[in-house]
Amino acid sequence: MNFPKIADNVWKLGVTDWDRRLFDALIPLPDGTSYNSYLVRGTEKTALLDTVDTALPDRLLEQLDGVESIDFIIAHHAEQDHSGALEAVMAKYPSAEILCSNKCKPMLQDHLGIDGARIRSVQDGETVSLGDKTLEFIATPWVHWPETMCTWLPEDRVLFSCDFFGSHLATSGAWADDPARVYEAAKRYYAEIMMPFRPSVRANIAKINTRDIAVIAPSHGPCYRDPQFIIKSYQDWISDTPKNEVVLPYISMHGSTRKMVDHLVSALSQRGITVYQFDLSVTDIGKLAIALVDAATVVIGTPTLHMGPHPLVFYAAHLANVLRPKVKYASVIGSYGWATKVVEHITPLIPNLKVELLPPVLCKGLPKEPDFAALDSLAASIAERHANLL
């Protein structure tokens, strides 16, 4: 077969979606993405693991032109970017059996209208034989839906992980051979998709990491022939200890809040703290999500608009709340025209963030010496709390 071979009689199929720039009508994809499908051929039977996005079934069907029979189609996850072409593949192989987790079966029926009579649920640890190859199913719930599972191919030590360890990254090659590029894409993917489920991610890493994995083959982005690269990266990201970093998303309408941001960034930098500053009117929210993975503190900079924060601050605060980063401290800075209730509006937006709220710094109009002094005090408070962080 004329497809990248990731192990003996195991091929990477699927679609590299170079030009897609938005996922879920929400997530920016600066580097495109891929929907990976894997063909595993044993001496007796053949399996296809995951399909492709709903919009692209024909691309996968073309790839399967030379494949006479498929006995099993493994659906690791019901979401449409992997199971969207399931019905088309089922039609091409009418005797193929669909294997998925207990929770996935009704989801395939609900979300994709798949005929339940063709689907068999498999248990955690259950195996099917392809002859000289075995597929073992590993329940890995909540990475990132409740029904998600992985497949382990012990003879070749390949872990097919679906979204888990994936990256939205279009590449011409099958392998993650450019670590810096893959690291950023995988961290972005983790931040946007997996971070809200850190306890489940931790439990599932412990579960899969007992195996002697040679290859991790996710269903987005390139495959890892150095599995510990991505496993260790995940272990770092899920750790409960944040880093000596501040994330500062802000908006400025007339420049006053911007002056405060500039001063605070400088004051924090002088104290040895790494700062990530984002102008919310132009920022890529994926970059903001990446910065939130490790930060110990978030400081929101906002002007006052109709007594509350700028609408883009509502959006960013809600996003941070649902992503549940491990931040420990938060504060608000900004300028107002004549009165403000920005703190009262922002605080209820972030109930999931178990943070200590540091005294806000709010000033009327242009910031003046006492306001800059208050920003210096805020920087000192943050530095004190970060004292033991790396």
Give the residues lining the site for ligand FEO (CB under 6 A): 77, 79, 81-82, 144, 163, 220
Per-residue tokens: 359 = 């005294």
Closer Cβ to ligand FEO, 19 or 65, answer by number: 19
Classified as helix, coil or strand, 280 is coil
Closer Cβ to ligand FEO, 34 or 252, answer by number: 34
Closer Cβ to ligand FEO, 78 or 135, answer by number: 78
CA distances from 149 to 66, 123, 234, 253, 307 (A): 28, 10, 18, 47, 47
Q: 190 near 180, Cβ under 8 Å? A: no
Closer Cβ to ligand FEO, 81 or 371, answer by number: 81
Closer Cβ to ligand FEO, 218 or 325, answer by number: 218
Closer Cβ to ligand FEO, 220 or 345, answer by number: 220
User: What's the min distance (Å) between Cβ of 189 and ligand FEO?
Assistant: 9
Closer Cβ to ligand FEO, 100 or 379, answer by number: 100
User: What's the min distance (Å) between Cβ of 169 and ligand FEO?
Assistant: 13
User: What's the min distance (Å) between Cβ of 164 and ligand FEO?
Assistant: 10
Cα 241 to chain centroid distance, Å, stands at 19
Classify burial at 338, counting beta carbons within 10 Å of its beta carbon; exposed 0-12, middle 13-18, buried 19 or more. Answer: exposed
Q: 142 near 148, Cβ under 8 Å? A: yes
Closer Cβ to ligand FEO, 31 or 81, answer by number: 81
Selection from 86, 81, 85, 82 nearest residue 97 by Cα: 86
Q: 218 near 255, Cβ under 8 Å? A: no
User: What's the min distance (Å) between Cβ of 218 and ligand FEO?
Assistant: 9
Nearest-Å Rg of the Cα atoms of the chain is: 24
User: What's the min distance (Å) between Cβ of 234 and ligand FEO?
Assistant: 16
Dihedral pair phi/psi, residue 350, rounded to 5°? -125, 50
Classified as helix, coil or strand, 125 is coil
Closer Cβ to ligand FEO, 83 or 252, answer by number: 83
User: What's the min distance (Å) between Cβ of 77 and ligand FEO?
Assistant: 5
User: What's the min distance (Å) between Cβ of 220 and ligand FEO?
Assistant: 6
Which position's Cβ is nearest ligand FEO? Answer: 79
Closer Cβ to ligand FEO, 223 or 260, answer by number: 223
User: What's the min distance (Å) between Cβ of 75 and ligand FEO?
Assistant: 11
Distance CA 196, CA 142 (A): 10
- DSSP category for residue 174: S
CB neighbour list of residue 298: distance below 8 Å, 6 or more residues apart: 246, 247, 248, 249, 292, 320, 325, 327, 329, 330, 331, 353, 355
Q: Are strands 304-305 and 329-336 parallel, antiparallel or unpaired?
A: unpaired
Selection from 156, 127, 151, 134 nearest residue 218 by Cα: 151
User: What's the min distance (Å) between Cβ of 73 and ligand FEO?
Assistant: 16
Distance CA 209, CA 194 (A): 17
Distance CA 229, CA 212 (A): 14
Torsional class of 365: left (φ above 0), alpha (ψ -120 to 50), beta (otherwise): left
User: What's the min distance (Å) between Cβ of 45 and ligand FEO?
Assistant: 26
